[in-house]
Structure 1
Amino acid sequence: MHIPDRTLLDWLAEPAAGRGLHYADSGDSWTAHPYRDLAQLTLRCAAALGERGVRRGDVVAVMQRSSPGFVAGLFGALAAGATACSMAPPFAFQRTDEYERHISHLLDTARPALIVVDDDAAEHVRGPAARLGLRAPVRFEELIDGISPLTEPRQPAETALLQFTSGSSGYSRGVRISAQALQANVTAMRRWLQWPAEYPGTSWLPVHHDMGLIGCLVNIVVTECDGYMMQPDDFIRSPLRYLKCISDNSVRMAAMPNFGLAYILRRVRPGQLDGLRFESLRGVILGAERIDPRVLDGFERLLGPHGFDRRALLPAYGGAEATLAVTGLPLAEGWTVATPRQGSDAPAEPLGVVGCGRPLEGMSVDIVGEDGEPLEDGQVGEITVRGACVATQYVGDPGSSSGTRLGDGVLRTGDAGFLRDGQLFVLGRLGDGLKVRGRMLFAESLEAELCERGVPERRATVLLGVRDGAPTAAVVFELPRPEWIGTTLDLLTERLEDADLLAVLVPRGGLAVTSSGKPRRRVMWQALCAGTLEGRIAPMADALREAEAAARAELQPAAAR
C-alpha cells in the first residue's frame, strides 16, 4: 500500500469531508467535530496568536486536556509559525503543590510567549507564571473570541515542537524538535503502519506525553482519518467502553503502554465481550515501558475468541529525543521473545524480552560498548540512534541524572539492549542496574519477575545501585501485603546474593512517578542515598516480620487484643 507524503498542515488547506475527531461524552455518547470545523478553529487560533504578539519561533505553551481546543492550540501554533509546547494539565498530578513545582520547571525552561489553558488549568498556572515574570495564561475560548481565521497557514518555524522528556531520571528536559524531524517521524510511522485515511484510530493517552501527542493525535489528524478520543480517566473508569468503541467503529489503529493492556485484563471479564468483534484491529502499538509477554498472551486469550489477531500487537521503541518512534514491529510479523547471547557479562533474563521491531524509515540503531564501538548481534550494550528524526538539542540545564545524550546527530539513549537478526530488544535503563557475578541485573527485569510471582504491577518499584560502598536493592512498596514483601525478599535473596536489601513503605500515591505514570527510579534512588526519601525504610527481613505481625494482630478478635 502506498502511503503518500503529507505535511503537518496539509489538512488545513483541504480538510477531509465526512471525517473528523469524535470525543467521548458522559455515558456512551460521542460528539463529532469534522475536520472542516477543526481547520477553521485552528486558523482562528493562529490568527489570535498573531494578534497577541506571538512572533515566528516564539514558544506557545498549550495546557489543555485532549479536546478540539487542544487540537486548535497545538496546530494553531504551528500555523502561526510559532513553536508548540504541550504541557501537562493538573489532572495528571495528585497534589497541587507537586503540579505547581513541575509546571514551574517546564515554564522556566520553555519561557513561552503565551500560555493557552483550559478552565481546569487556569488557576493552577497563574501563580507560577507570575512568579516567573511570564504573561498571565489565557483561556482558549477567550483567545479566539471574535477572531477571524487566517486565510492560509504560515510556514512552520524551524523548531516546530518543544517537547519534554518524561522525567523518570530527574527533571523533565526540554527537547527541540525541528519541523523536518516531526514530519519525518509522522511519515515514517504512517508508512510503518500502512495507515491510510480510511482506517479509523483511537486513543485514551494523555496529549502531554509524546506517545499520546505524536503517536496518536498528530498521526490521526495528519492522516485525516476518523479518530475516537477518550480521556485517560474515561479509560480508567471503563476499559470496556474503549473496547466497545473499537468494535462499534471498526477501529484499525490504537496505542498504549503495557500497563494499559494489563489494566484491561484486570477489569474486563470474557462474558462482557459478548457481541463485540475485533477483526478490524490491525495495529495496537505498544511502547513507553517494558512489555510483559504474559500480558500479550492474556490479551490474545481475552480478545482472540472475538476475532482479534495476535499479529496486531506491535511492540515499538522510541523517546522524546527521537521525536517519538525509532523502531516498530512490521505488520503481520508477530511478536517474539529472545534472550541476550550467553556470556560471562550477559544479563540473566529468565522471562525473555519482547522484541520492539526494526528501525523505521530514515532511522538506524546500533548497540555499542563502553568504548562506543558497535557490538555483535546478541551482545548487550547501550542503544544509540541516528536519523532524520533525532532532536536538534536540549533546552536549558535541568540538572537531570538521565544518561541520555545528544551530539553530532547521535542519540545515546542511556538504555541497555541488544539486536537479534535486526530486531531491537530493550532491557532497561543503564543507570537502573547492578552487576552481580559478572552479570547485569536490571530493575525492570526484577519487577517483571515480581509480577510473575504475584506482586501487582506498579505496587513495587525496584531501585538498584551502590550505597555507602555496598551493592543495594531497595524496593518501594505502596500499601504492601506481607506476602508481597516475602515474595520480593525471596527473589532478591536468590538473585542478588549479598546485596543489602531494603524495603521502603509508602502510602497510596507515595511512589514518585512522572506525569505519564513511569516510576522515577533515579530520583527515588538519589533521595534514598541523600536520606530524604519519604516513607518508612527498613531492612527487608525486618519489614516482613513487622508486616506479618501486624496482619496477625488484625486477625485477632477484638477481645483478645
Structure 2
Amino acid sequence: MNLTAALGAVAERRTGHGIRLFRGEEERERTGFDELYSQAGRLACGLLERGVRPGERVAIALPTSVDFARALFGVLAAGAVPVPVPPPARFASLEIHLRRIVIAMRQSSVRVVLSDEALGSLLGPALAGAGGEFRVLDVATTPAASAVYTDVAPDAPALVQYTSGTSEDPKGVVLTHANLLANVEAITKGVGFTDADVGCCWLPLFHDMGLIGALLSSVLNDAEILLMPPEDFLRDPGRWLRLISRHRVTLSAAPNSGYLHALRKVPAEAVRELDLSSWRLTLNGAEAVDADLMRRFCAHFAPAGFRRDAFLPVYGLAEGSLAVTIPPTGREPRSLWVRRDLLGEGIVEPGGRDDGLCREVVSVGVPVTGTEVRLVGDGGTAAHPEAAVGEIQIRGASVMRGYEANEPATRATVSDDGWVSTGDLGFRSGGELFVTGRKKEMIIVFGQNYYAGDIEAVVGRLPGVSHHGVLAATVPFTDGDGLVVMVETKESEPYARSELAAQVRYAVSSELGITPRDVLLVRKGRLPRTSSGKLLRHGAEAVYHQWAAAAAGTKAPLTAGQVTVE
C-alpha cells in the first residue's frame, strides 16, 4: 500500500471526520477526509497536466492550512514526491527561510513549487535569483475538473524531509511510502491512536513532528484534527489550551519550549476557566525534555483537570521518519539523577536530587514497533547497556536509506547493514532510553566534556534571560579555545546588563565548575535560529566574532549566516 491508497481507504469509511483550521478563536475552514481524497486527485491531475512527472520532487511552501494537506496528498496522488519547505516570514528572518528553501530546491532538483497567491508573490521574485528555473503554482487554481491517482510502489520515495540544521546545513531525508506507513503504525500502537481521538496541532507542518506526528497520523487513523497556525500559539498559547478544552481534544504534542511558553503566559485565573480532563496524552519531544518543567506544568494546570500521566516524553528524528522511542502510556514520566561531570565522560553514575553535581535525565521510553535502537561507543564499539553513554543508532522499517543527492553524508551516516547514526547521545536504564545530548554539541574545556544543553539550562533559569535565549559554544581565541555564552535579554540599562553578565558567569562557574571566557548579551530575538525555531549552532563561532566586534565598536566583514547587532 502507498499513502494515497491509505487515504482512499479512510475516505471510503465516510465517518465525517476531517481537518479543521482555526485562526484565533474562530474555525475558518473544514474538509472531511473523503473530500480531501477527492481534492487531492483533482490537484494531481492539474499537476500532471502542467508537466509534473511521477517521481519528481515538488516543493510545498504553505502555512498551516487545509491547503497544505491538499498539496501534500495532491503531489502524492500525482506519483510525485513532496518537499515541504518553510513558508516565508514565519519563525525566523526571511533570509533564513529563503536559504533553506534554496538548499532544498537545489538538492532536490525542484522545478515546481506549490504555494498560495500571497506567498507566491514573495517566493517568485526571491527564487528568480537562486539559480535554476522554478515555477510557482497556486494550490487554489491548479486543480483540474477530473481526478487522477497514480499508483506507486510502497518502496518508492514519498517525502523529502529536510532536517532542522541546528549544527550543520540541512540535509534532505528521503522517506518511502513504506517508511511513513510503518512509522504511523508505530505511533498508532505507541499512543493507542483510534478514530475516537481528537488531535490539536500548532506545530509547523513542514516539520516532521507536525507533519507526521500530527497530520499524517490523524488522517490515516481517521481521527479529527484541529490545526492552528504557530504564530497564533506564539502570540497567545492560551488559544491552544482553549481549543483543547472546548473541543474535547485527546491528543497533542509540543517541544519542551512550547510547554514553558504556555506555563509562563497562561495565568492561574485563566486556568480555572479551562477543562483539560479530556487530554489523555501530550507528547514532549523535538527538544531536550525538562523533568522540572513538566512537574511545574502539571501543578499549574492541575486545577483544569490536567493529569501527570498525560505527559509522554518521546524521542525521534527525521532520519527515523519521526518516532523512535515512546514510553508506556498510563504512567507519570520517569527520570533519573546522574552525576553530570561523569556523564560528560561517558559514565552513568546515579546521584542525588540535592547534589549540585547531578543532573536529572528523563526516560523517552522503548523502541517503537519495527525499530531497533543500539548505543555505540567511540570507535564503533557497543556501549554497555546500563553503565555507559553511547551514540544512538537506529535501524528498521521507518528508518531512511539515505539523504537526497548527498552520497558523502549518506555514507557517513548509514552503515552497510542499515544502522543510522543519529548524532545523539544516551544511555539505557531498566530497558528504557535516556537521551543526554548531541554528539556535535559537546563542549570541551581544558580537556573536560560538557553538554551545551547543561550550560544553556543553567543560564536560562536566571531572571532577565529571554525564554529559549541562550547559546553556548566553544570559540577559538588567539591563546586557545574558550567557552562563550551568548544571551538574549530585554535589559538595556548598563548596570543591569553588567549584573546579568556577572550572574551568568557565577551560575555557570558554581554549578558546572567552568568559567565562560566571554558572556555576550544581545537583544531578544537576535540569536540565530533554524526555520523551526531551534537554536542554530552551525556558524555560532562566526556569529560570536561579528557580535563581539560590533560590541567593541569595530567593523567586521559580514559573511553568510551572520547577523548585525542592533
Cα contact 2:466–2:524 (8 A) shared by 1: no
Of residues 356-365 and 18-27 in structure 1, the stretch that sits farther from structure 2 once superposed is 18-27
Distance in 1 (alpha carbons) for counterparts of 2:455 and 2:82: 38
Pair 1:520 & 2:536 matched? yes
Q: Cα gap change, 1:526/1:367 in structure 2, threshold over 3 Å: closer, same or farther?
A: farther
Matched AA of 1:412? S
SS at 1:122 equivalent: helix
2:261 is paired with a residue of what secondary structure? Answer: helix
**Structure 2: where are the runs of 5+ without partners?**
349-355, 492-496, 553-566
Q: Distance in 2 between matches of 1:469 and 1:327?
A: 43
- What do the CA deviations read for 1:97-146 (whole angstroms, capped 9, x no partner)? 333233222211111242101123212321354342223211111211x4
Q: CA deviation at 1:410?
A: 1.2
Q: Is the counterpart of residue 364 in structure 1 residue 369 in structure 2?
A: no
CA–CA distance in structure 1, aligned partners of residues 331 and 542 of structure 2? 41
Mapped partners of 2:185, 2:9: distance in 1 = 18
Match among 424, 427, 435 for residue 433 of structure 2: 424
Letter in structure 2 aligned against 1:477: V
Name the structure 1 match of 2:138. Answer: 139
Q: Which blocks of at least 5 consecutive residues in structure 1 are unaligned?
A: 539-561
**Residue 386 of structure 1 corresponds to which residue in structure 2?**
395
CA distance in 1 between counterparts of 2:537 and 2:403 reads: 22
Matched, 1:350 2:366: no
1:309-328 aligned at under 5 Å gives the runs: 309-328=307-326
TM-superposed deviation, 1:453? 4.0
Cα displacement (A) at 1:392: 1.3
Q: Is the 8 A contact 1:78 1:157 kept in 2?
A: no
Kept after mapping to 1: 8 A contact 2:91/2:533: no
Deviations 1:148-181 (A, max 9, x none): 2226765567111111000101211111111111
Q: Secondary structure of the equivalent of 2:433?
A: strand
TM-score by length of 1: 0.88
| Separation of aligned partners in 2, 1:378 and 1:277 | 43
Checking the alignment, whether the CA contact within 8 Å between 1:109 and 1:396 is kept in structure 2 is yes
Partner of 1:413: 422
* Paired residue type of 1:10: A
Residues 329-348 of structure 1 aligned to structure 2 (within 5 Å): 329-340=327-338, 345=345, 346=347
Query: Counterpart of 2:314 in 1: which secondary structure?
Result: strand
Within 5 Å, give how 1:195-206 maps onto structure 2. Answer: 195-206=193-204
Q: CA separation of 1:28/1:303 partners in 2, compared to 1, >3 Å: closer, same or farther?
A: same
Could you say which residue in structure 2 is the equivalent of 1:558?
A: none
Look up the SS of the partner of 1:143 in the other structure: coil
2:93 to 92, 95, 99: 95
Q: 2:526 aligned to 510, 523, 527, which one?
A: 510
C-alpha deviations, 1:362-398, integer Å up to 9, x for none?
1122221112111121311211112111111112349
Cα distance, 1:221 vs structure 2:
1.0
1:323 and 1:169 mapped to 2: Cα distance? 19
Number of aligned residues: 530
Q: Which residue of 2 aligns with 1:85?
A: 83
| Contact 1:81–1:156 (Cα < 8 Å) also in 2 | no
Is 1:271 aligned with 2:269?
yes
CA spacing shift, 1:356–1:525, aligned 2, 3 Å: farther
Cα-to-partner distance string for 1:324-375 (whole Å, 9 max, x where unaligned):
1111122113212214479583489633111111111111222211121111
- The answer for the alignment partner of 1:487 in structure 2 is 503
Is residue 24–residue 30 contact of structure 1 (8 Å, CA) maintained in 2? yes
Change (3 A) 1:500 1:195: closer
**Conserved 8 A contact 1:8-1:222:** no
Give distance in 2, aligned partners of 1:464 and 1:404: 24
- Looking at structure 1, the residues matched to 150 and 106 of structure 2 have their Cα atoms a distance apart, in angstroms, of 32
Per-residue CA deviation, residues 261-291 of structure 1 (Å, 9 max, x unaligned), is 0010111012113342222112111111111
Q: Distance in 2 between matches of 1:276 and 1:141?
A: 37
1:403 and 1:249 map into 2 onto residues whose CA distance is: 47
Distance 2:506 2:408 in 1: 36
Partner of 1:288: 286
For residues 12-63 of structure 1, the C-alpha deviation after alignment (integer angstroms, 9 at most, x for no partner) is 2451322111110344345322222222111111111211222221111111
Q: Does 1:433 align with 2:442?
A: yes
- CA distance in 1: counterparts of 2:22 and 2:485, whole angstroms: 38
Q: 1:151 to 1:211 in 2, by over 3 A?
A: closer
Q: For each residue in 1:474-505, what CA deviation from the matched residue of structure 2 results, as whole angstroms up to 9, or x when unmatched?
A: 11122354343222110233356566511233
Q: 1:270 to 1:75 in 2, by over 3 A?
A: same
Deviates more, 1:92-101 or 1:285-294: 92-101
Percent identity (aligned): 30
Could you tell me which amino acid in structure 1 is paired with residue 137 of structure 2?
V
Contact 2:154 2:178 in 1 (8 A): no
Distance 1:109 1:12, change over 3 A: same
Map 1:126-205 to 2 at 5 A.
Answer: 126-131=124-129, 132-144=131-143, 146-150=144-148, 155=153, 158-205=156-203
Partner of 1:48: 46
Q: Is the 8 A contact 1:404 1:411 kept in 2?
A: no
In 2, distance between residues paired with 1:293 and 1:498? 24
SS in 2 for 1:115: strand
- Is the 1:107–1:129 contact (alpha carbons within 8 Å) kept by the matching residues of 2? no
The structure-2 alpha-carbon separation of the partners of 1:494 and 1:330, relative to structure 1 and needing over 3 Å to count, comes to same
**How far has the Cα of 1:464 moved from its partner?**
3.1
